[in-house]
Amino acid sequence: MKILDQLKTNLLLSLLFAISLICTALFPFISKKFGFEFLDAFYYPLEVTNIINSMSAEMLRMHTIATLTLDVIYPLAYGLFFCWFSIQTLFQQEIDIYSSYLNFC
């Protein structure tokens, strides 16, 4: 429940979480809409080369745009979300420990 409480009270955390969810949903949507798979999913160079050669100019353009936007925004959003959440959780635990210690004394 801590995460829900923090999402309710922290606008930045809520925004980062929403951006992460939107990006997560956009990857398969864009892939299906324009009929290609993201090259991140493939391992073998020959397979990647064959996929690139089979793409139309529109597919290549959309793949490049999606890669330059989503592949940059997504890791930043979820990375900052987890960092911000962790920092807030750790500081809150420290405050709780110190306040309980002071009350004990």
pTM of the model: 0.66
How many other C-beta atoms can be found within 10 angstroms of the C-beta atom of residue 20? 20
DSSP strands (E only) in the chain: none
**C-alpha radius of gyration, the chain, whole number:** 21
Q: What is the mean pLDDT, run by run of 10 residues, along the chain of 105 residues?
A: 65 86 90 84 89 90 89 91 81 57 52
Q: How far is CA 91 from CA 3, 46, 84, 85, 87, in A?
A: 14, 49, 11, 10, 6
